[in-house]
Amino acid sequence: MFDNFTKFGASVEKLSFVSNQPLPDVILVHGEEPFSIADRKKLEKFVTGLSEEITGFDADQHTSLFFFCFSELSLTNYEETLLGKIAMFLEGELNASVAPRAFALTVNDYCRKRSKSLADVENFEQLLGSKFVTRDNMMKWLAQTQEAHANPIKWDSVASDLIEMKFSEKKRVERAWRDYETHLLERQNAATAEYIQNMSGAIEEQLDNAESLEHLLALTFPRASKLVLTWRPQSDEQFIKAAVLYESKR
């Protein structure tokens, strides 16, 4: 937290620690209160620790910057959790009951990547100019979520294009397609979001070289195999084919 003061100096008005758990080692409050109202012995322990850890920390000058903000966010009521609030937000924006996990992962992954680039921010003006999420970002993600909800990817959308594939192989790939769909729902996490992005890139690389969907499948298969096996090591050939076909329709 103090790194922000070191980086942004006089622009910093508060250094707030936000948690839905109490902080008994320093202060017990509801709402937001400065550390300076804490019990003197507890505050001295906090100040001593910072003084030993951070060169340039001045207790008289800097202690007043620290605040503790107790969040009322509940972990026992789903609607009050972050995922629950996102679900309610999506329902309100899209007028539909949409599983919120994929949307939440998109936002989280974007913010995680943006936070890495913020290591290069040198002043407060640059920080303001590089806000994590803009209105345009949010509208784009909402449009993508609405499209995915309204038009789910179906096996029939690819089956008719698999002209050269033998009937028996097509049935095996269809079963793998169902398995792939289920696995995507079960593993909605950062690793899956990264895998989907990489798979999309692999397909895009070969798109202009392909003469048909089956040709695209053949061209993409070598790289797709590595991506799928890293994401799901026990995958067989049909599962990898299903993955390429499914992701080619996103």
pLDDT at 217: 97
Cβ-Cβ contacts under 8 Å for 242 (sequence gap 6 or more): 173, 174, 176, 177, 179, 180
pLDDT at 128: 66
pTM of the model: 0.54
Q: How many CB atoms lie within 10 A of CB 35?
A: 21
Cβ-Cβ contacts under 8 Å for 29 (sequence gap 6 or more): 37, 68, 70
Query: Terminal CA-to-CA distance of the chain, rounded, Å?
Result: 40
pLDDT at 215: 96
Q: What are the DSSP calls for the chain, one per residue?
A: -HHHHHHHGGG---EEEEESS-BTTTB--SEEEEGGGS-HHHHHHHHHHHHHHSTT--HHHHGGGEEEEE----SSSGGGSHHHHHHHHHHHHHSS---SHHHHHHHHHHHHHHHHHGGG--SHHHHHTT-S--HHHHHHHHHHHHHHHHS---THHHHTT--SS-HHHHHHHHHHHHHHHHHHHHT-SHHHHHHHHHHHHHHHHHHTT-SSHHHHHHHHHHHHHHHHHHHSTT--HHHHHHHHHHHTT-
Q: Where are the domains of the chain?
A: 2-70, 78-150, 156-247
Profile the chain (250 residues) by mean pLDDT over runs of 10 residues.
Answer: 76 82 73 80 82 81 84 73 83 78 76 69 70 78 75 88 95 95 80 89 96 96 97 96 94
Going by their DSSP bridges, the two strands 31-34 and 66-70 should be labelled as antiparallel
pLDDT at 43: 81
Torsion angle of C-alpha atoms 95, 96, 97, 100, degrees rounded to 10: -80
